[in-house]
Chain A
C-alpha cells in the first residue's frame, strides 16, 4: 500500500472526473478510503484483485454501514454518499467510503517446491478501483490481459545433487485463461533439459501463524521431463491453462527445474505468463 494513499478530495479539487486508486497490496488487511461521494464505482483496468468490497454509510444498518462487492462482472452505479460529517458507530470515525480487497492475499505465501534450492518470485497483486464523480449510464469494467515477462531467470547453482529451481507465482484472481511460455535461450549442441510444472492455489485464511491452506493442483501433465529438440536455439513450451481444465485459482505458480544438476541451462530461462478474463478460445 502506498502511504499516504491518494486523496480523492484532491482529485475533485483538481477537476478530475474520477478518483483512481491503483496500488499494490501490502497486506491482506489493507483498507482504503475515499472522502468523495461517488456516482459509480468499478474495477480498474489493471487490477489483479478481482473482488473489491465497498462499504458506505447507511443509517438503517445496525452499525450504520452497508457493504457491496464489485468485480469485473458487477459494478455499482448510482450515488453513494461519503457523509464526511457523519461518523461510524461505535468507533466514531468520520464517514468515508471504504474499499478493501475481497480476495485473500498472503504476502508470506510459500509456493510448492521440489527442493530447497530455489529462486522464488512472488508477485504482489495490484488493487485498481475507479470512482466516478459524474453520473454513469452503465459501467462494464473489463480488465486488461496481464503479461508477466521475465527476460532472464538464472537457475541457482546445483547443491550436491540437487538441481536449481525457478518458481514464479503470479496473481490469478478471477482469471479464466492463461498461456505460459518457457524459453531456454542460447545455442547448444544438446539443449539442457528442464522440467516445468504449473500449480493453482486457492488461499484460505489460516491461523495467522502457519501458511494458509493451499490446494495444489497440477494443471497439466507437464511434471515430467521436457523433450527438447536439439536443433533449436530457443525452445518454447506452451501449456494453456483454461477454466474448464484447470479451474479458478487465486495464484498461479510456474515451477521450472533443471532436470540434470550437472547440465543446468547456463543462460537460465525466459518465462512469459499471460492471464486473461476471456475464456480460452475453442
Chain B
C-alpha cells in the first residue's frame, strides 16, 4: 500500500494576524501601525530649542528606531552637541561645535542619546525625521527571519512526526 509521503504544501504565514516577534533585540524591527494619532515611531518633529547656560541637556532620547537629526544654530552660540552626557566645557572638544546658519546632520539608531550644551542662551533649529527606508528594511529582514524560522520549525516537527 503506497503511503502518501508528500509533504503538505507550505503554508504562507501572514504577519497581519500575528504580532511581529523580536527574538533578537539587536535587530531592528518594523513597528506596528499606530492605533492612536501621534504615537507612531515614524513621526517626525520640528521645533526651536533654547539652550541652557552651563549645563548639558538631553536633546533626543534615542527612542526611535532610526532617525536623522538636523541642527541649525541661529545665533552666535557657542553650542556643542554630542553623544556624551557631559559636554562641558563647551569648547573642550567633547562635543562638536555648531556653526551659525550651517545645518549639521547626524543619523542615530535606537538607543543613541543626543546631548547639547552651550554657554549662552541660543536658538537651535531641531529637525528630527525618521528614516523610513531603513526601518522598512530592518522590519522586512526581521519578518523574513521569523518566517524562515517558523517554516523550519514546522518542517522539523513533521519530520519528527509531531
Contact = CB atoms under 8 A, between A and B. Distances in A.
Nearest to B79: A37
A82 B79 CA distance: 12
Contact of A12 (B90, B91, B101, B121): B121
B111 to A, nearest CB: 29
Interface stretch (A83-91, A117-125, A198-206, A233-241): A83-91
Interface string B60-75: 0000000000000011
B58 interface: no
Interface string A167-197: 0000000000000000000000000000000
A39 interface: yes
A36 B75 CA distance: 8
Contact of A13 (B76, B89, B91, B121): B121
B119 interface: yes
Contact-size category for A: 20 to 34
A58 interface: no
B48 to A, nearest CB: 8
A79 interface: yes
Nearest to A80: B76
Contacts, number: 59
Interface in B40-62: 50, 53-54
A85 B53 contact: yes
Interface in B111-134: 119-123
Contacts of B88: 85
A9 B75 CA distance: 10
A83 B74 contact: no
A81 B121 contact: no
A84 B119 contact: yes
A82 B77 CA distance: 9
Given A36-B75, A37-B75, A134 B101 contact: yes
Contacts of B77: 37, 79
Contacts of A82: 119-120
A133 interface: yes
A37 to B, nearest CB: 4
B53 A12 contact: no
B123 A85 contact: no
Contacts of B119: 81-86, 95
12 contacts: A9-B120, A12-B120, A12-B122, A15-B74, A35-B121, A36-B75, A37-B75, A79-B76, A82-B119, A85-B90, A86-B119, A134-B76
